[in-house]
Structure 1
Amino acid sequence: MPVTLRQLLNDYPGWQVQDMAGGWVAMRKVAVSPASGLSNIRCGRTLDELAANLKSETSDHHRQQPG
């Protein structure tokens, strides 16, 4: 089943999501330092693609935190 905008906003509350011409963009509500290696903006042609990109961003964040 395709991802809905409501699902995306619920799953990633730290991001603002907007419909742009030709796709979707997510911007962090609180910017991270460029030195963090993380993105402040992620894009996707569809909500499904954007969800996958945000999931990847979350995975990257967990890998970078000391555990």
Structure 2
Amino acid sequence: MKYEHVFKFMKNIVWSLILNGIFAIVLGLLILIFPDLLPILIGGFLIIFGIIALAFARRVNKYSKIDIEI
């Protein structure tokens, strides 16, 4: 029963990181397309942050025993 809570927590962490990563990549691409919104450096930072977040989510998912297809 205690492990169920841990697995649910891990599942929430994975989905949170996936959503944050997708959001950061989309926001970064929009900033690069419309450079008047913010400087291009911020766009690059957001894209890199998104890629790192997705890689971290994949690693957490790999070591957990939850079946989430990424």
Confirm or deny a common fold (TM above 0.5).
Answer: no
Q: Counting helix residues as a fraction of each chain, which structure ranks higher?
A: 2
TM-score of the aligned structures, taking structure 2 as reference length:
0.36
More strand by proportion, 1 or 2? 1
